[in-house]
């Protein structure tokens, strides 16, 4: 079993839709949770960063962490064609002191005009 599970998709939505992306994990030591966006043949770009449980909002993006369920989500409101990319969740345990990130497989998102 992988430490981080993420549905690879692909996920296709119409422009303006609300998108929900999710990851589950098994390691209860994970404390730091990140979402990265990766365009084709590019490096991952940090979108959101959350420590422990709770919600964090940044513009059209909202990240949620539920440590009791070992489940994290990223919501994208009013999705745009420019949001079409692969979204990667990543996690780190405090004992790794911010070093080793464990990634999900990535979810491929396509937003159709």
Q: Which residues make beta-bridge pairs with 89? A: 35
Q: How many CA atoms lie within 13 A of 52 on its CB side?
A: 0
Q: Which residues contact 26 (CB under 8 A, 6 or more apart)?
A: 1, 2, 3, 4, 70
- Residue 43 as a binder of another protein (CB under 8 A): the answer is yes
Question: Minimum distance from CB of 14 to another protein (Å)?
Answer: 25
In the complex with another protein, which residue's Cβ is closer, 32 or 61?
32
Question: Minimum distance from CB of 55 to another protein (Å)?
Answer: 18
Residue-by-residue DSSP string for 2-33: -SEEE----EEEETT--EEEEEEE--TTEEEE
Of 46, 69, 71, 80, the residue at the interface with another protein (CB under 8 A) is 46
- Residue 26 as a binder of another protein (CB under 8 A): the answer is no
Cα-flanking dihedrals φ and ψ of residue 28, to 5°? -70, -10
- Residue 96 as a binder of another protein (CB under 8 A): the answer is yes
Where on the chain is the footprint of another protein (CB under 8 A)? 4, 6, 8, 32, 34, 36, 41-46, 49, 51, 88, 90, 92, 96, 98-106
């Amino acid at each position: 079993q992988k430490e981080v599970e993420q549905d690879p998709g692909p996920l296709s939505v119409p422009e303006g839709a609300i998108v929900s992306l999710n990851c589950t994990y098994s390691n209860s030591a994970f404390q730091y949770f990140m979402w990265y966006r990766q365009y084709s043949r590019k490096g991952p770009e940090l979108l959101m960063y959350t420590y422990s449980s709770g919600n964090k909002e940044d513009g059209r993006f909202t990240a949620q962490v539920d440590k009791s369920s070992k489940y994290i989500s990223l919501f994208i409101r009013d999705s745009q064609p420019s949001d079409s990319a692969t979204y990667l969740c990543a996690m780190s345990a405090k004992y790794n002191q911010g070093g080793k990130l464990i990634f999900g497989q990535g979810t491929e998102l396509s937003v159709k005009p």
